[in-house]
Amino acid sequence: MIAIQTDDVNIGDLVIAAKRRGTGAVVVFDGVVRDDDITEMELEAYEDFAIKELEKIAKNATEQFKLLHVDIIHRIGRLLIGENILIIIVAAGHREEAYAGSRFIIEAIKGSVPIWKKELTKDGGRWVPGEHKHGSGKPRSNRAMNTSIFLLPVISVIFHLG
């Protein structure tokens, strides 16, 4: 399932659906709205293109890490503190591939998928700057491996059967 949507998803159901013959590990990445002295977060996307980018990222991750299943659900609209923003579910034969595939997907999303976040505060709001500052001009230094300062990544291995 690759989706950009306003609605939340049932992560448990997705984990169950991700398991198939040969699955030894399922990794769930759940990016949530952190309480950074904000009231809400508003997200918008260039949906047509963002979906294509997510599909491309999922395909690349599947090929590179021999993944058995990938779900990427990115939410848009207004979200409250603690709500899910981005859910990535990856199934693989072994934990190494599952962890690496999940990490690859989140870093790729931060680098190329046209989605933006605005932190709403009681005094107004502020757009969250992207971690990759380069645009269509000459690229600056690569900041690809910076960890997120805007999300509280909750990464957990739900099943490790391998």
Partner 1 sequence: MRWNSKSENILEEQEMMVKIRFFARFRELLGTDLITEAAAGTMFTSLIITVAKKNPEGYAAIFDENGVFHEYVILMKNGKRIDIADAVMTPVDDGDEIAIFPPVAGG
Return residues touching partner 1 (CB under 8 A): 31, 43-46, 48-50, 52, 74, 85-86, 106, 109-118, 127-138, 140, 148, 150-151
User: Minimal distance in Å, beta carbon 53 to partner 1?
Assistant: 9
User: Minimal distance in Å, beta carbon 107 to partner 1?
Assistant: 9
Q: Which C-beta is closer to partner 1: that of 140 or that of 160? A: 140
User: Minimal distance in Å, beta carbon 140 to partner 1?
Assistant: 7
Residues in the chain: 162
**Residue 73 in tokens:** 């659900």
Torsion sign over Cα 142, 44, 113, 29: positive
Q: Which C-beta is closer to partner 1: that of 9 or that of 66? A: 9
Distance separating alpha carbons of residues 21 and 28, to the nearest angstrom: 18
Q: Which C-beta is closer to partner 1: that of 69 or that of 117? A: 117
E strands of the chain, at which residues?
A: 2-5, 25-33, 40-45, 69-75, 77-80, 84-92, 115-121, 124-127, 151-160
**Residue 123 in tokens:** 């005094």
User: Minimal distance in Å, beta carbon 21 to partner 1?
Assistant: 31
Q: Which C-beta is closer to partner 1: that of 92 or that of 113? A: 113
